[in-house]
């Protein structure tokens, strides 16, 4: 254990020019980029660890979720239904809460909602389905590991809160639904044909009217512009040995995880130790787009579809922000266009929509969005 770091530092000492280049960065990344790196405080880490341990512990006694037929078999007495946990990650008002109210209406036995709102922003707590659903939250910063922490807090809280949560969908205040709740629920929990990436064998096909095996809908890409830059954003060897470059992945932070994978994320300590370290430059990092796909790709690639169900438009965009739809663009045709997917029967959600889209979206909700 001792010899490798020792040899490494010894050879560094020998190569003075390299040491000269690297030492200031190793020693004080904060002073290098005083405006950007976000460090997570030890007390925040402790709080999270306590929560994550509770979630991991509570899972031991809960039902093995990746076997839904067993779930329904065990619970025939009171017959609780499997639910989808909707996890909203926000740092501003939930502009589309009236739309979500309509989406969820009449299905209260089939979902739970959890909201993580940046406590330094005065987020209005809406009535309706979001009422009482805000979880203890900590400050979040764009393109930093704080977004990973916030997502893990949501996952852990939802795991503890209700053993019936079998899918965990991460959304933001800029996301909108593209279908009715019924359609979403059926696609995730019942349909055999929804996911076209999945060649299910007979054994995996539906039992008792539900699919026998769930997959996580998470984008996992091994090729992308800037991947090397992102990998080395903490230093050339910073991710080693836990994450070799050929295992480093990228994908959208808006995903739908199975309970098994949500647990894997909450239980992880090894990769978190790597991904929580700050990067030299904020615009080269985006840990929240790497942590989840890398972790799940390393642990259970075949349990993931490798694509997301949240449509996003990256055409002609810069600075890491996708295209934002404005009120004038909202129409039934746009909704239909955004649903079109090469991977599944349809996208289920889309982003980003500006807050002024609420009215036009409400106007077309009944006849174009929730009509299925």
Ligand X SMILES: *[C@@H]1O[C@H](CO)[C@@H](O)[C@H](O)[C@H]1NC(C)=O
Residue ranges binding ligand X (CB under 6 A): 122, 124, 313, 315-316, 323, 337, 340-342
Nearer to ligand X, 62 or 313 (CB): 313
- Bond into 368 cis (ω within 30): no
Shortest distance, position 347 Cβ to ligand X, whole Å: 8
**Tokens found for residue 127:** 């009535």
Shortest distance, position 122 Cβ to ligand X, whole Å: 4
Nearer to ligand X, 189 or 334 (CB): 334
Shortest distance, position 311 Cβ to ligand X, whole Å: 7
Tell me if residue 217 falls in helix, strand or coil. Answer: strand
Nearer to ligand X, 281 or 343 (CB): 343
**Tokens found for residue 301:** 């690639």
**Spatial separation of the C-alpha atoms in residues 32 and 25, rounded to whole Å:** 7
Burial 263-290 (b: 16+ CB within 10 A, else e): bbbbbbeebbebbbbbbbebeebbbbbb
Closest CA to 165 of 239, 42, 62: 62
- CA angle, corner 172, sides to 136 and 134, nearest 5? 25
DSSP label at residue 243: S
Shortest distance, position 136 Cβ to ligand X, whole Å: 18
Shortest distance, position 293 Cβ to ligand X, whole Å: 18
Crossing angle between the packed helical segments 291-299 and 146-161, to the nearest 10 degrees:
60
User: Which uninterrupted H or E stretch holds 266?
Assistant: helix 259-267
DSSP 78-123: T-PPPEEEEEEEESS--TTHHHHHHHHTT-TTSEEEEEEE-TTS--
- Whether 126 contacts 94, CB under 8 Å: yes
Shortest distance, position 317 Cβ to ligand X, whole Å: 7
Nearer to ligand X, 274 or 351 (CB): 351
Nearer to ligand X, 186 or 343 (CB): 343
Shortest distance, position 331 Cβ to ligand X, whole Å: 11
Shortest distance, position 188 Cβ to ligand X, whole Å: 19
Nearer to ligand X, 17 or 316 (CB): 316
Nearer to ligand X, 75 or 341 (CB): 341
Nearer to ligand X, 141 or 323 (CB): 323
**Spatial separation of the C-alpha atoms in residues 355 and 97, rounded to whole Å:** 11
């Amino acid at each position: 254990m001792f010899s490798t770091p020792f040899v490494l530092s010894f050879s560094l000492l020998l190569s003075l020019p390299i040491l000269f280049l690297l030492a200031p960065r190793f020693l004080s990344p904060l002073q290098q980029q005083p405006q950007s790196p976000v460090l997570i405080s030890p007390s925040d880490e402790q709080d999270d660890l306590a929560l994550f341990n509770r979630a991991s512990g509570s899972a031991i006694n809960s039902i093995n979720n990746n076997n839904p037929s067993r779930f329904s078999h065990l619970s025939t007495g009171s017959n609780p239904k499997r639910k989808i946990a909707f996890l909203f990650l926000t740092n501003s008002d939930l502009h589309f809460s009236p739309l979500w109210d309509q989406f969820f209406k009449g299905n209260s036995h089939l979902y739970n909602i959890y909201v993580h709102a940046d406590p330094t922003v005065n987020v209005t707590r809406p009535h309706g389905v979001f009422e009482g659903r805000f979880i203890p939250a900590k400050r979040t910063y764009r393109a930093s590991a704080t977004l990973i922490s916030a997502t893990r807090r949501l996952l852990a809280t939802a795991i503890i809160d209700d053993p019936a949560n079998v899918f965990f969908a991460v959304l933001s205040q800029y996301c909108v639904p593209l279908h009715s709740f019924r359609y979403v629920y059926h696609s995730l929990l019942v349909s055999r044909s929804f996911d076209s990436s999945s060649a299910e064998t007979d054994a995996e096909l539906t039992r008792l009217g539900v699919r026998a095996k769930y997959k996580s809908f998470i984008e996992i890409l091994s090729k992308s512009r800037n991947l090397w830059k992102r990998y080395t954003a903490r230093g050339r060897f910073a991710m080693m040995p836990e994450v070799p470059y050929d295992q480093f992945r990228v994908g959208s932070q808006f995903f739908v995880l199975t309970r098994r994978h949500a647990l894997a994320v909450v239980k992880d300590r090894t990769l978190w130790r790597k991904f929580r370290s700050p990067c030299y430059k904020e615009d080269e990092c985006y840990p929240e787009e790497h942590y989840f796909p890398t972790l799940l790709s390393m642990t259970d690639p075949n349990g993931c579809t490798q694509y997301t169900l949240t449509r996003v438009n990256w055409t002609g965009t810069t600075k890491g922000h996708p295209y934002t739809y404005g009120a004038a663009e909202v129409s039934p045709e746009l909704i239909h266009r955004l649903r079109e997917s090469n991977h599944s029967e349809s996208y289920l959600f889309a982003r980003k929509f500006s807050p002024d889209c609420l009215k036009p979206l409400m106007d077309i909700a009944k006849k174009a969005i929730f009509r299925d």
